Amino acid sequence: MDHGYSITTEDDLTIIRLYRDHTVDEMLALMDEVAETTTTNHRLWDVSGHFTLTSDAILQLAARGRLLWQRPSKVAFVAADDVAFGALRVIESRRDQPGYRTSVFRDFDEARSWFDEPHDPDVV
């Protein structure tokens, strides 16, 4: 069955790619699936062209992320269009917690290389 996304793991990085727009409930279920089935502390969400959620939905995603991932981690989002980029910056600001680093990018390769940069020792 095609769920409109893929989840792959490369070394210590989980890559989640969306292939269609998802409802907030589908995104929350996807977040639950990623939390339950992966063990990496690094996640790259590629939502290029497929992120059209409301402000309320974005706040729900940020709140769920705080509950699901409380250990130190790094998370990158890739969004090609301006609206999605701005929306993901809201998630970035709402996920401010110790040991958690997040960044939003427009380019997948740039986001991927961000995980190789030196970082704060309190973040894995």
pLDDT tens, position by position, for the chain (124 residues)?
578 999 999 988 999 999 999 999 999 999 999 999 998 889 999 998 788 888 788 888 888 988 898 888 899 999 988 888 887 887 777 666 777 788 899 999 999 999 988 765 554 4
Tokens 């130190």: give the residue. 72
Taking CA atoms, 106 is separated from 13, 83, 112, 113, 121, in Å, by 18, 12, 11, 13, 26
**Tally of helices (H runs) and strands (E runs) in the chain:** 4, 5
Domain residue spans of the chain: 18-114
Q: What is the model's pLDDT at position 57?
A: 86
Instruction: Report the Cα 23 to chain-centroid distance in Å.
Output: 16
